[in-house]
Amino acid sequence: MARTLKEAIESGRFIVTGELGPPMGASPDLVRKKAEHFRNVDAVNVTDNQSGVVRQSSIAAAKLLLDEGLDPIVQMTCRDRNRLALQSDVLGAAALGVGNLLLLTGDHMTMGNQPEARPVYDLDSVSLISMVDGMRAGRFMNGDEIKRPPEVMLGGAANPFAEPLGLRLIRIAKKAEAGADFIQTQAVFDVPRFRRWMEGVRDLGLHERVKVIAGVLPVRSAKALEYMRDEVSGMSIPDAAVRRIADAAEPAEEGVRLACELIASLREIDGVAGVHLMPVMWEKITPRIVEEAGL
Amino acid sequence: MSEHSGERTNSGVSSWLDGYLSARPLLERCLSGLGLLLENVIKIPMFRCQRCGDCVLSHTAFICSQRCPKRLRNGACGGTRPGGYCEVFPDKRCIWHAIYARSRTLGRVPMLTRMIPAHRWDLEHTSAWLNVFRGREKAPVLRVGSVVDELDVGLADRAKRETEP
């Protein structure tokens, strides 16, 4: 039987997920080729116009992955679609065999390359999770019955490095309450700070209600790390990590080592149910990280 | 109605008023116009009301959440910049940070633990006060009670720890 996220969650083992960004073109071949990198993970995220840059539809790319025998997690944002389109997409994705959704508010289009587009944001991630949970239970958002409810695992995102902590924890609790089965976090480089956030998650018992899957972003250059530290909001990157990659003779190798060390530290934290590997533009390193980290 | 839709059963008076006004468009327009005028004059200067017609001011410490560029009703988003600045307008403070801060000051944090239902866009730019009387507004959903209580306790501890040096 092929590995799936649902099966990983139900078995209680350490979860491993990967991530794939669909191409900025109509070719199906790139997705099919990249599918080979994800043979040893439980499921693969497929991003949805990530950072407000147009890419192939996440449901379409997910179908290509399904055909390759993988278990995609379709990311859906509130930025581009209203509730009618979102409900329709949920039904369509389920009809194609998609078993997992990651429901997000979505980066604003001002972050992307077409800032003149109209922001939709009909719903936010909490009400989106609630809506799809209702669909699972057989009801459209207006209460009408759904004859064949979609069967999907639902996830939300969390940022362990954003302040204030109390508000962030409230939001995760709301997502858990709204029906989320799992939470994927932003990439972790600052383990002590992540531990502090996990303490709060445990205090509220949230780790028992949702599976917390910590993000790990393998980097292959110091420039990539510096870019994230300076330009991407919601990331906490210690200078030591940047220096380490910058001073290394082979930055890519050092990046792999760093990623494996981060994974080892995260595994030891009580309440962490898995890791989410998201090597930006470097999907092919995924199988090696999985192997070397002993996942 | 399901707890997911957040609807509460209309009181008899609300239902009656809704029906009464729906059948009398001219009167409805007059009352609506009057309501909007009063709201605009009071709520815009005081709260920078965005005229969404679906007011949840009392649940967000009397700071209008619809000032958020993403119109979040359950904020903040994951894109908040360091220092609490908005992802979209980097020179502005995140409105949900302000809502949380004031909620803590006023002791209204438990109200933030409730899911505020999605905005009804058919009420946009209509009189929120009239909508309340007509029972057209959905109250925030009170989820499983114990979760709210647990959150309360956990958050009080957390808030205490956050203020410690």
Backbone φ, ψ for residue A189 (5° rounding) = -120, -25
| A125 vs B: CB within 8 A | yes
d(CA A107, CA A118): 13
Residues 136-165 of A with CB under 8 A from B: 137, 139, 141-143, 157-159, 162-165
Q: Which helix (H) or strand (E) holds B146?
A: helix B145-163
Instruction: Write out pLDDT tens, residues A206-253.
Output: 999 999 999 999 999 999 899 888 877 778 899 999 999 999 999 999
Comparing CA positions, the residue from A236, A218, A230, A239 lying closest to residue A289 is: A218
Amino acid letter, residue B136: R
How much is the average pLDDT of B71-96? 92
Q: How far is CA B137 from CA B9, B18, B58, B104, B131, in A?
A: 11, 12, 13, 26, 6
Crossing angle of helices A191-203 and B145-163, rounded to 10°: 140
The whole-number pLDDT of residue B108 equals 87
Q: What angle do CA A49, A127, B81 make, to 5 degrees?
A: 55
Each domain of chain A, given as residue ranges in start order, spans: 5-219+270-292
Using the predicted structure, report yes or no on whether residue B3 has a pLDDT greater than 70: no
The whole-number pLDDT of residue B151 equals 56
| Structure tokens that stand for B67 in this block | 């000032």
CB B127 within 8 A of CB B36: yes
Q: How confident is the model at residue B7 (pLDDT cuts 50, 70, 90)?
A: very low
Instruction: Write out pLDDT tens, residues A151-209.
Output: 999 999 999 998 888 899 999 999 999 999 999 999 999 999 999 999 999 988 899 99
| A177 vs B: CB within 8 A | yes
SS3 B93: strand
Place of tokens 């002791």: B107
How much is the average pLDDT of A126-138? 95
Supply the DSSP symbol for B61. T
Peptide bond into B76 cis (omega under 30): yes
Taking the alpha carbons of A137, A202, A162, A221 in that order, is the dihedral positive or negative? Answer: negative
Closest in A79, A159, A166 to B78, CB measured? A159
d(CA B21, CA B77): 38
Amino acid letter, residue B21: L
Peptide bond into A164 cis (omega under 30): yes
pTM passes above 0.80? yes
Higher-scoring residue by pLDDT: B138, B34:
B34
Question: Residue A146 burial by CB count (10 A; 0-12/13-18/19+): exposed, middle or buried?
Answer: middle
Place of tokens 């709060």: A200
The predicted complex's ipTM stands at 0.91
Contact A124 B115 (CB under 8 A): no
Backbone φ, ψ for residue A80 (5° rounding) = -105, -10
d(CA B156, CA A65): 45
d(CA A284, CA A263): 18
* Percent of chain B residues past pLDDT 70, beyond the cut: 77
The whole-number pLDDT of residue B160 equals 59
Considering the segment(s) A5-219+270-292 as one domain, its CATH architecture is Alpha-Beta Barrel (3.20)
Residues 6+ apart with CB under 8 A from A225: A189, A219, A237, A241, A242, A245
Instruction: Write out pLDDT tens, residues A54-102.
Output: 999 999 999 999 999 999 999 999 999 999 999 999 999 999 999 999 9
Supply the DSSP symbol for A37. G
Contact A186 B78 (CB under 8 A): yes
The neighbour count for residue B1, using CB atoms within 10 Å, is 12
| A130 vs B: CB within 8 A | yes
The whole-number pLDDT of residue B135 equals 86
Closest in A83, A122, A177 to B143, CB measured? A177
Residues 6+ apart with CB under 8 A from B18: B10, B134, B135, B136
Residues 194-233 of A with CB under 8 A from B: 200, 203-205, 233
Max mean pLDDT range (B3-7, B67-71, B112-116): B67-71
| B118 vs A: CB within 8 A | yes
Place of tokens 């438990």: B110
Comparing CA positions, the residue from A55, B119, A32, A98 lying closest to residue A89 is: A98
